[in-house]
Structure 1
Amino acid sequence: MFKKFKAATVQTAPVFLDVEKTIAKAIIFIKEASNNGAQLIAFPEVFIAGYPYWNWIMTPVQGSQWYEKLYKAAVKMEDEVMQPLFQAAKDYNIHIVIGLNERGDSFGEIYNTNIIIDNQGKLIGKHRKLVPTWAEKLTWTSGDGSSLKVYDTEVGPLGTLACGENTNTLARFTLLAQGELVHIANYISLPVAPPDYNMAEAIKIRAAAHSFEGKLFTIVSCSTISEEIKEALREDVPNVDEVLTRKNSAFSGFIGPNGAVIGEPLIDEEGIIYADIDLSKCIQPKQMHDILGHYNRFDIFDLRVNTAPTRKITFINDHDEFNKK
């Protein structure tokens, strides 16, 4: 119950729209984290293998060709190209939470998905982003409640949400109610936010809110925008440097059960950082505010969550039903 472990979080850019090279890059970080004693490593949102920035800086018609490129770079868990990632978790005895573009069953369908791999190299869970944020609706299909789960791991009860859905109070409470003590919140750098919006600060506020309310540890991993990404988009967006360059666009770090940042976070810079996690630190803060226990009124409040997977079609044979009568 009172687990102690070292965690790592990564702030970097993928190899844009190249799954194989991005996984190879991830494995370099995984090896480094393991060699430094980490038992858990977090990677950014849709790290495999890129974010649809064109939704924000091009018209939908211009961005359509990029949507096709992204779909071709989307993956399923059983794809051969994914296997080195699972093997790395086993080889380096480390848990991995990483974002990816997941191919759906419908041709052309993409989900924004976080996967959880245990230290035996097994896929133990995945979470599909419930609601794509703003311009992201041009790319991703919405997930459903079946992936709002907390997973029992050797480092503790672990859950994850992607980017803006860490603002969704009911989604966060659903994870807390399942006993979550380690939360992975992953993001992308978003320089195209409104001028008065400090993305790094907003990420920190969301993480602190979840940790303070739930009395748990939040690990934040955010991507960066590489020169390679900007160069790829330059032909369609000549002023890409202007629109995709801005300070305070990325925050990665660790938040404790008291809502305070642990150590020094990464702001905009690429790298990997570590923190020692002691789950027993989640106990004392609950004496004041336990929103899952004494500091709530479940006789007044009733949250119901539909965890059934979405069914796209139901077949009914009316003739057979008639014959049974």
Structure 2
Amino acid sequence: MPGPATERIGAAAARHGIHLVIGVIERDRGTLYCTALTFGPDGGLLGKHRKLMPTGSERLVWGFGDGSTMPVHDTPIGRIGTVICWENYMPAMRMHMYSQGVQLYCAPTADPRDTWVASMQHIACEGRCFVLSANQFTRRSDYPADYPVDAEPDAVLSRGASVIVDPLGTVLAGPATGGPAILRAELDLGRIAEGKFDFDAVGHYSRPDVFELRVDQSPKRPVV
């Protein structure tokens, strides 16, 4: 990566003139990684994030990311960062993102529970950032016939619940659970500055005389 697949995705972003964050399965040699890619409106690949901690049985399939792929991208529409699924429950990971000045905090997930929406509201309020969480809506008919799930074709396997939240925790769009949907909201980055006047997790509320977080952003190569 990059390669033919990212070129096709980038071309789609360029065709529509959009910033695009998308989850993929990345293969590096013989190992698979759960990865999020960020593209600019010119179709260029701005960067990637490999999930640090595969969840549960994911560890049977996916490798572990390291600290070298936790970027926040400075773009004309704001500073974009991505944290994948249950990584969002890692307080140190969130603090690292806040320290990079993330404004558009993307949280792709497969967790459709009400508690996930509450977590996105908490993160938005904690980080004083906009949170955009995309979740999957799927029915049994979306999967191959030999997929090992005994359910009617119209049965909902994942209800979605994508959501957009503002820096004070107010839900601007969603959670969308009724079917496939595209959420839209106008985001005023001035709301971030407004919110940080009274709370800044990595600023005047951080108490560095008491707490300290060290982040190793170096790549961990098996052979040096």
Equivalent of 2:39 in 97, 114, 117? 117
1:200/1:248 contact within 8 Å kept: no
Q: CA deviation at 1:249?
A: 4.1
1:159 maps to 81
* Aligned counterpart in structure 2 of residue 208 of structure 1, from 108, 121, 131: 121
On the 8 A contact 1:97/1:115 being kept in 2, the answer is yes
- The alpha-carbon distance between structure 1 residues 297 and 132, as it changes in their structure 2 partners (threshold 3 A), is same
- Write the distance in 2 (CA, Å) between the matches of 1:212 and 1:230: 40
TM-score normalised by the chain length of structure 1:
0.64
| Contact residue 101 and residue 113 of structure 1 kept, 8 A | yes
* Residues 100-155 of structure 1: CA deviation (Å, up to 9, x unaligned): 000112x2x10000000011111111000000000111110010111111110111
1:208 is displaced (CA, Å) by 1.0
Larger Rg: 1
Aligned residue number for residue 190 of structure 2:
280
- Partners of 1:307 and 1:122 lie apart in 2 by 23
Find the residue that maps to 1:274 and give its secondary structure: coil
How many Å apart are 1:170 and its aligned residue?
Answer: 0.6
Alignment RMSD, CA only? 1.9
Shift of 1:167: 0.9
The equivalent of 1:305 in structure 2 is 215
**Quick one: which of 207, 210, 231 aligns to 2:145?**
231
- Helix, strand or coil for the counterpart of 1:145? coil
Shift of 1:286: 1.5
Indicate yes or no: 2:134 matched with 1:221.
Answer: yes
Which string of whole-angstrom CA distances, capped at 9 and with x for unpartnered residues, describes residues 262-315 of structure 1? 13431252111201011001112222211121112111111001100111023x
Letter in 1 for 2:145: E
Higher relative contact order, structure no. (Cα contacts within 8 Å, ≥ 6 residues apart)? 1
**Given that residues 248 and 268 in structure 1 are in contact (C-alpha distance below 8 angstroms), is that contact kept between their aligned partners in structure 2?**
no
From 68, 72, 82, the counterpart of 2:6: 82
- Within 5 Å, which residues of 2 pair with 1:176-187? 176-187=98-109
- In the alignment of these two chains, the number of paired residues is 222
Per the alignment, in what secondary structure is the counterpart of residue 272 of structure 1? coil
Using the size of structure 2 for normalisation, the TM-score is 0.92
User: For 1:188, what is the secondary structure of its paired residue?
Assistant: coil
Counterpart of 1:292 in structure 2 is: 202
Q: Distance in 1 between matches of 2:205 and 2:176?
A: 34
Counterparts of 1:268 and 1:308, CA distance in 2:
43
Unpaired runs of 5+ residues, structure 2, are: none
8 Å contact 1:96–1:117 — kept in the other structure? Answer: yes
Q: How does 1:251-270 map to 2 (within 5 A)?
A: 251-267=161-177, 269-270=179-180
How many Å separate the matches in 1 of 2:5 and 2:174? Answer: 34
Residue 5 of structure 1 corresponds to which residue in structure 2? none
Distance 1:81-1:286 versus aligned 2 partners, 3 A rule: closer
Provide Cα deviations, 1:249-271, integer angstroms capped at 9, x if missing partner.
42102000011211343125211
Contact 1:200 / 1:267 at 8 angstroms: preserved in 2?
A: no
Larger helix proportion, structure 1 or 2? 1
Q: Distance in 2 between matches of 1:293 and 1:81?
A: 40
Q: Structure 1 residues 232, 247: CA separation in 2 closer, same or farther (over 3 Å shift)? A: closer
3-state DSSP of counterpart to 1:210: helix
CA distance in 2, matches of 1:100, 1:306: 24
Alignment of 1:62-81 (within 5 A): 76-78=1-3, 80-81=4-5
How far apart, in 1, do the equivalents of 2:159 and 2:89 lie? 17
Percent sequence identity over matched residues? Answer: 30
User: How far apart, in 2, do the equivalents of 1:241 and 1:292 lie?
Assistant: 47
Q: Is 2:137–2:177's contact at 8 Å kept on the other side of the alignment? A: no
Deviation at 1:228, TM superposition (A): 2.9
